[in-house]
Structure 1
């Protein structure tokens, strides 16, 4: 009989419920938050991009970038 260590491990096909994945805590989203969530450096150009995106989409802009 061969040993199957993977049989004793928890199943890896379990998924985290969507309700647990929300990133926002109910606080305001700043342009800096949006820039960092997009994986960009905080530069004047990127901050302006984030300001425009927040003006157009509101806090949902952050939700669209994060899982």
Structure 2
């Protein structure tokens, strides 16, 4: 199944999205804003500082841990 044809995932009758179509990141750097939003928080100076500390401690996995 090609990721360029998302309709192919719907033709199987399976309501679940296949793992190869799920992406936590696009290969770009993880920003503090990304982590704040993934945590369901508002973008405030306090939350941005929290996110920066989380990224420093966990690296890009900080975002992956927040996403389902």
Question: Normalization by structure 2: what TM-score?
Answer: 0.72
Greater Rg over alpha carbons, structure: 1
Across the aligned residues of Structure 1 and Structure 2, the Cα RMSD in angstroms comes to 1.6
How many aligned residue pairs are there?
57
**Counterpart in 1 of 2:27?**
26
Structure 1 stretches lacking a partner, 5+ long: 1-9
Structure 2 stretches lacking a partner, 5+ long: 1-11
Q: Which has the higher contact order (CA 8 A, sep 6+)?
A: 1
